[in-house]
Amino acid sequence: MYSNQILVFVIRAFALALLAGNASLALAQDKSAKPDLEKGKAVVAKTCAACHGADGNSPIAINPKLAGQHPEYLAKQLAEFKANSARKNPVMLGMSSTLSAEDVSNVTAYFAAQKPKEGAAKNADSAALGRKIYRGGDVVRGLAACASCHGATGAGLPSQYPRLAGQYAEYTEAQLRAFRAGERANDAGRMMRTVAGKLSDTEIKAVADYVAGLR
């Protein structure tokens, strides 16, 4: 009797292990599937283009350029907009809520593959101050250089730090102000809130202007 019970137990355990293995394999295959840029383009045309442009080069300065942005960063932002917690925006909440996991994979890959249009600093004096802060920070105030995370050319680092080069100054300024005020809180380890908290209005404008001209 006990032998039969042990046998049944072993068979059930084996079956569960097999099912778990199949589920893990399916998940791995799903994650390894290559994004479909054409499907991403179609979703962008329907959902994203009005604000961010069909190729990710937003025609409006208050909306960020997404062309050339790291897909991992874009996916993180969409997930956080959808969660409506660390990063809140009623428009993006509505848009992100309509996207499936496959849509996100396709859309972020599509935007990443697009060529970002170059920007330009508007004020030489302001850009000079922005360059000083961006590249060197301020040791006395414990202000880290932006370049230490986002790179000297603003290219960022995939999976960790976003591309900033050529971004609209108006958008960058708005985000730095939001971090400083704590209105945006999706920065790991409060890094951006700490940095922005040490910047004056003049310095924020200067950094945003300098970033716009990076390439």
Question: Residues 135-152: pLDDT tens digits?
Answer: 999 999 999 999 999 999
Tell me the Ramachandran region of residue 121: left when phi exceeds 0, alpha when psi lies from -120 to 50, beta otherwise. Answer: beta
Which of 160, 172, 157, 139 is CA-nearest to residue 65?
Answer: 172
- Burial letters for 72-109: b for 16+ Cβ neighbours within 10 Å, e otherwise? ebbbbbbbbbbeeeebbeeebeebbeebeeebbbbbbb
CB 199 within 8 A of CB 137: no
Q: Which CATH class is domain 37-113?
A: mainly alpha
In percent, how much of the chain has pLDDT > 90? 83
How far apart are the C-alpha atoms of 209 and 119, rounded to whole Å? Answer: 10
Is 130 a residue whose pLDDT tops 60?
yes
Tell me the pLDDT band of 180, cut-offs 50, 70 and 90: very high
| Residue 84: partners with Cβ closer than 8 Å, 6 or more residues away | 93
Is 186 a residue whose pLDDT tops 60?
yes
DSSP letter assigned to residue 138: B
Mind listing the pLDDT tens digit for each residue in 89-115? 999 999 999 999 999 999 999 999 999
Tell the CATH superfamily of the 124-212 domain: Cytochrome c-like domain (1.10.760.10)
Mind listing the pLDDT tens digit for each residue in 18-72? 333 443 333 333 455 899 999 999 999 999 999 999 999 999 999 999 999 999 9
Least confident of 9-13, 117-121, 161-165: 9-13
Beta bridge partners of 138: 143
